[in-house]
């Protein structure tokens, strides 16, 4: 592990065609890293995430993704993801293959991946049309005979998460709503963690997840790198941004203009925030 | 305070069905409004569980997303998402789960996946999220859904979750409950009549012989409800 720039981490660790998970369950969503994937023009990615929200809308709309593995794709509390819909309904800018699960199935697949087991097991996917449309099978309990659902483990090439802090050795700590970030890092062959702050020493926090430096390939400083989601103890969720995203993303040209101005023509997360502040003033 | 909106009627009626001490799996929008209203009125000990991992959340304001920081700050416990679904939902610790959808059929099966064929949908919806396992993992499923023919359909375009545990459907016109395996209109809200509900249902809606009228929201309920709606509540 080394503390490196996000640009170098993405250049060295993420390749075209990779299976990539940028996880975060409404909290600590790794926007800065996702934006760097877009800047570097990654293509043919298989994107995994339980709750693809605005960040995956941006990656899909910019043509980075070939396939999406997910369980709920929307703009929470606001409405649909227009770029995701456009890709599925009209193949714009590219066709998007879907592998769709339930939250419980995705969670089990993450635990299996982190555990290096071939599949996760749960009492789920019962009835309904989802089993016929996704990768799920039935296994029989050898002890009770109960039939249970089996979902294949997630084993991404690269897992990317955002955390509050790392120390100078690259040990990482995150807290608050911790989602599936620990599982996503441990299930992946390579991992990148962006952080709000690099501190001399990590202070233990209630309910914290600690990722020792030796399970992380790159730690990158990206202050406010989870915006418009939030970092508990640092800044709140920018709910207004999520509401504003709806009209921006509804129109292809308006979306592309926005991405050009705030992502493609900015070099890093600092410039991204400066460009947003300029847009508010202008 | 005589006037109130259909959404307020729905939230109030749903909240009345939550008893003190019940453990509720809450989604965003109307379910969150209903559960928080119950907690501030007749059921202060109602336990709100949000799928982001917060157990016993006590938000002052309604969250916009199921993972807003206030839900974690006010929770009794915050757990990981795998733990939430495995230990708490699958573990049988949740009494009531709220679900919504784009479509419902007469058995209470729900569609939140696609309108049109799966491979070439006319409308790609967000997908099941927690719903498939909430539908089978809780004791009682409450559905909140506005009454309309495009939502109350004779055949779903896609079955996202099954209706086995659906105990009540609260709409903007009235209340449906399963009677002999079929959702039946058992009450109408003040000002609504059964013909409106029939016209807004895509199958031949059964109406209970002893159809009741829902009590309108009280002043106390409306005051508490409106105090909550200061932020978000986008549904």
Contact B66 A26 (CB under 8 A): yes
Q: Which residues of A touch B132 (CB under 8 A)?
A: 102, 104-105, 124-126, 128, 130
Would you name the residues of B annotated as active-site residues?
51
**Residue A162 CB partners (closer than 8 Å, separation 6+):** A24, A28, A29, A30, A31, A32, A33, A174, A193, A194, A195, A196, A222, A225, A226, A231
- The residue of chain A with its CA nearest to that of B161 is A128
Any domain includes A68: yes
Contact A72 B130 (CB under 8 A): yes
Q: Cα angle vertex B71, ends B65, B76, to 5°?
A: 150
| B232 pLDDT above the threshold of 50 | no
Q: Which domain holds residue A187?
A: 2-101+155-281
End-to-end CA distance of chain A: 42
Contact A77 B234 (CB under 8 A): yes
Task: Look at chain A and report how many structural domains it folds into.
Answer: 1
Can you tell me the mean pLDDT for B91-117?
Answer: 97
Q: Pick the closest to residue B91 from B79, B74, B75 (CA basis).
A: B79
Can you tell me the mean pLDDT for B76-91?
Answer: 97
Nearest Cβ partner of B124 from A89, A108, A133? Answer: A89
Nearest Cβ partner of A177 from B72, B136, B235? Answer: B72
Nearest Cβ partner of B69 from A110, A122, A230? Answer: A230
Can you tell me the mean pLDDT for B77-106?
Answer: 97
Q: Which residues of B touch A110 (CB under 8 A)?
A: 82
Contact A103 B51 (CB under 8 A): yes
* pLDDT on residue B60: 84
Which residues does chain A have with pLDDT short of 50? none
Contact B66 A126 (CB under 8 A): no
Q: Cα angle vertex A255, ends A252, A258, to 5°?
A: 150
B contact test, residue of A89, A177, A178, A184 with most B CBs within 10 A = A177
Cβ pair A59, A30 in contact under 8 A = no
Cα(B141)–Cα(B136) distance, integer angstroms: 9
* pLDDT on residue B72: 87
B104 strand-pairing partners = B110, B152
Nearest Cβ partner of A107 from B66, B86, B158? Answer: B86
Portion of chain B with pLDDT greater than 70, in percent: 97
Cα(B71)–Cα(B64) distance, integer angstroms: 11
Any domain includes A266: yes
The pLDDT tens digits of the residues spanning A30-79 come to 999 999 999 999 999 999 999 999 999 999 999 999 999 999 999 988 99
- The residue of chain B with its CA nearest to that of A182 is B80
Contact B72 A232 (CB under 8 A): yes
The answer for B54, left when phi > 0, alpha when psi is -120 to 50, beta otherwise, is beta
Phi, psi of A271 (to 5 degrees): -70, -35
Interface A:B, Cβ pairs < 8 A: 174
- The residue of chain B with its CA nearest to that of A109 is B82
A contact test, residue of B25, B103, B133 with most A CBs within 10 A = B133
Q: Cα angle vertex A95, ends A89, A96, to 5°?
A: 85
Contact B82 A70 (CB under 8 A): no
As a whole number, the mean pLDDT across chain B is: 93
Q: What is the domain-level CATH number for residue A17?
A: 3.40.1080.10
Nearest Cβ partner of B133 from A76, A124, A177? Answer: A124
Contact A123 B86 (CB under 8 A): no
ipTM of the complex: 0.95
Can you tell me the mean pLDDT for B123-141?
Answer: 96
What number of other Cβ atoms are within 10 A of residue A137's Cβ? 12
* pLDDT on residue A282: 59
* pLDDT on residue A281: 65
CATH class of the structural domain B6-228? alpha beta
Q: Place B222 in a pLDDT band, splitting at 50, 70 and 90.
A: very high
* pLDDT on residue A1: 63
């Amino acid at each position: 592990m080394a503390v490196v720039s996000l640009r170098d981490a993405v250049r060295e660790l993420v390749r075209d065609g990779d299976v990539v998970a940028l996880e975060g369950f409404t909290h600590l969503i790794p926007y800065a890293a996702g934006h760097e994937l877009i800047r570097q023009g990654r293509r043919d990615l298989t994107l995994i995430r339980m709750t693809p929200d605005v960040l995956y809308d941006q990656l899909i709309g910019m043509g980075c993704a070939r396939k999406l593995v997910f369980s709920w794709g929307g703009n929470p509390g606001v409405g649909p993801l227009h770029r995701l819909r456009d890709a599925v309904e009209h193949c714009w800018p590219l066709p998007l293959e879907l592998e769709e699960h339930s939250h419980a199935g995705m969670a089990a697949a993450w635990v299996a991946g982190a555990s290096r087991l071939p599949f996760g097991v749960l009492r789920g996917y019962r009835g309904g049309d989802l089993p016929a449309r996704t990768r799920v099978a039935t296994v029989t309990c050898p002890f009770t005979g109960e039939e249970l659902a089996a979902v294949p483990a997630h084993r991404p090439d690269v897992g990317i998460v955002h955390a509050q802090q790392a120390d100078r050795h690259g040990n990482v700590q995150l807290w608050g709503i911790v989602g599936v970030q620990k599982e996503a890092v441990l299930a992946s062959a390579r991992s990148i963690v962006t952080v709000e702050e690099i501190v001399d020493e990590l202070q233990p926090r209630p309910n914290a997840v600690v990722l020792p430096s030796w399970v992380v390939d790159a730690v990158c400083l990206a202050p406010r790198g989870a915006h418009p989601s939030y970092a508990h103890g640092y800044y709140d969720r920018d709910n207004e941004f999520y509401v504003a995203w709806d009209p921006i993303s509804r129109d292809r040209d308006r979306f592309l203009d926005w991405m050009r101005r705030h992502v493609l023509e900015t070099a890093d997360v600092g410039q991204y925030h400066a460009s947003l502040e300029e847009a508010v003033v202008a | 305070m005589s006037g109130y909106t259909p959404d307020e009627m729905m939230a109030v009626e749903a909240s009345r069905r939550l008893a003190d001490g019940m453990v509720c799996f809450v989604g965003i929008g109307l379910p969150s409004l209903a559960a928080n209203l119950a907690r501030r009125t007749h059921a202060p000990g109602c336990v709100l569980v949000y799928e982001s991992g917060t157990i016993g959340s006590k938000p002052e304001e309604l969250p916009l997303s199921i993972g807003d920081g206030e839900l974690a700050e006010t929770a009794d416990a915050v757990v990981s998402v795998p733990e939430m679904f495995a230990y708490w939902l699958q573990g049988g610790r949740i009494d009531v789960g709220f679900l919504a959808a784009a479509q419902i059929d007469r058995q209470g099966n729900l569609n939140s996946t696609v309108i049109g064929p799966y491979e070439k949908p006319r409308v790609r919806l967000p997908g099941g999220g927690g719903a498939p396992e909430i539908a089978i993992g809780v004791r009682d499923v409450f559905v909140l859904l506005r009454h309309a023919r495009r939502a109350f359909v004779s055949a779903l375009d896609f079955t996202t979750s099954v209706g086995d545990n659906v105990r009540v459907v609260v709409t903007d016109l009235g209340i449906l409950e399963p009677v002999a395996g079929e959702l039946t209109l058992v009450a109408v809200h003040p000002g609504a009549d059964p013909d409106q509900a029939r016209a807004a249902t895509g199958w031949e809606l059964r109406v209970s012989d002893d159809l009741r009228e829902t009590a309108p929201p009280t002043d106390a309920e409306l005051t508490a409800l409106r105090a909550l709606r200061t932020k978000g509540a986008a549904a």
